[in-house]
Amino acid sequence: MKKFIWIALFAIVSSGFAKDTPFNFLRNSGSARSTALAGAFVSIVDDPAALFYNPASIATTKSKNFSFTFFKHVLDVNSGTVSYSRNFDKIGYLAASAIYTNYGSFERTDAQGQYIGTFSANDFALGFSYANILDTNLYYGATLKIISSNIDKYSSLALAVDFGLLYVIPEKRTSVGFSILHTGTQLKTFDGTRESLSLDVRVGVSHKLRGLPLLLNFNLYGLADQTNKFFDKFLKFAIGGEFDFGENVNLRIGYDNYIRKYSGGSKNKEFIGFSGGLGLKFQDINIDYGVAQVGSSAIFHKFSIYYNF
């Protein structure tokens, strides 16, 4: 029972307190860098893992890119993401990606509470992306995703699409991003009850300060979520900052207002809603670490590696 409570907590906080669906794991598919920046990532350029926030971003990356992220949750819940993107002349940018979460094993009991075995639960999504230049400094992209969620002998299958736009203003060191994520339909239900996907609408801006090696990011997210008041939608915002220490080291910090504000009324909030991380750059490889506190005793860690070739 204790393990089940922790799993439920993870599902809630990882979805940003959105409506509970079997596909909320899609909202937690970011990299270590995006975690450190509190998810303020929809307007990020030249990052292969940014396609999980905005598929248009892959059109700003180098010719070939590979990214892998490992996410350590509470207890024995683990997940990861992987992506590969490449630029094809006269075609555009193509990418393939995957998201996986394993919730571990659970005890199975009969009506009298007697142990009779175990069962497992896991989620998986496979994506195929395309991005290109729409106009000068304006990029567009889309991702088609096949999504599977499994609990014991029950399973659900869904089909979803992500759309994104990214406008880059090089002379202003600024980029603006917009994305509609996880819009689609459930093809197969668990028990005949049709459930919605974890639809997410995001908009954001990134700006590199003049004379200071600091990249600032501001994002609004969850704009499609239902709220009692219209302006409550704008409480879901994230701010992230990335400071460059030379050419090879980045220090990152972030803040998620909604997680901070709606963290269950904990009196000891400590660093709930805050995040941070570190990035190391080598010739062709980047290694990132990100950490975020989303509850009084729930701290998530992510590790990412990128390879550009």
pLDDT at res. 117: 82
Residue 104 region by backbone torsions, left for phi larger than 0, else alpha for psi between -120 and 50, else beta: left
Which residue type is seen at 271? F
pLDDT at res. 196: 81
pLDDT at res. 200: 94
Which of helix, strand or coil describes residue 197?
Answer: coil
Question: Are the beta carbons of 133 and 121 closer than 8 angstroms?
Answer: no
pLDDT at res. 265: 56
| Beta pairing partners, 148 | 124, 157
pLDDT at res. 165: 98
pLDDT at res. 72: 77
| Beta pairing partners, 157 | 148, 188
Going from N- to C-terminal start, the domains of the chain cover: 2-308
Which of helix, strand or coil describes residue 91?
Answer: coil
DSSP 224: T
26-40: buried (b, 16+ CB within 10 Å) or exposed (e) per residue?
bbbbbbbbbbbbbbb
Q: Write the class of the CATH domain 2-308.
A: mainly beta
| Beta pairing partners, 18 | none
pLDDT at res. 15: 42
Neighbours of 98 (CB within 10 A): 15
Question: Are the beta carbons of 18 and 29 closer than 8 angstroms?
Answer: no
- Alpha carbon 249 to its chain centroid, in Å, reads 23
pLDDT at res. 106: 81
Which of helix, strand or coil describes residue 16?
Answer: coil
Which residue type is seen at 307? Y
Encode the chain (309 residues) as per-residue pLDDT tens digits.
344 333 444 444 444 444 566 688 888 778 999 999 999 999 999 999 999 999 999 999 987 999 999 987 767 788 999 999 999 988 999 999 999 999 888 888 878 888 888 888 899 999 999 999 999 999 999 999 999 999 888 899 999 999 999 999 999 999 999 999 999 999 998 888 888 888 999 999 999 999 899 999 999 999 988 888 888 888 999 999 999 998 899 999 999 999 988 775 555 677 899 999 999 999 899 999 999 987 766 788 999 999 988
Which of helix, strand or coil describes residue 60?
Answer: helix
| Beta pairing partners, 158 | 147, 186
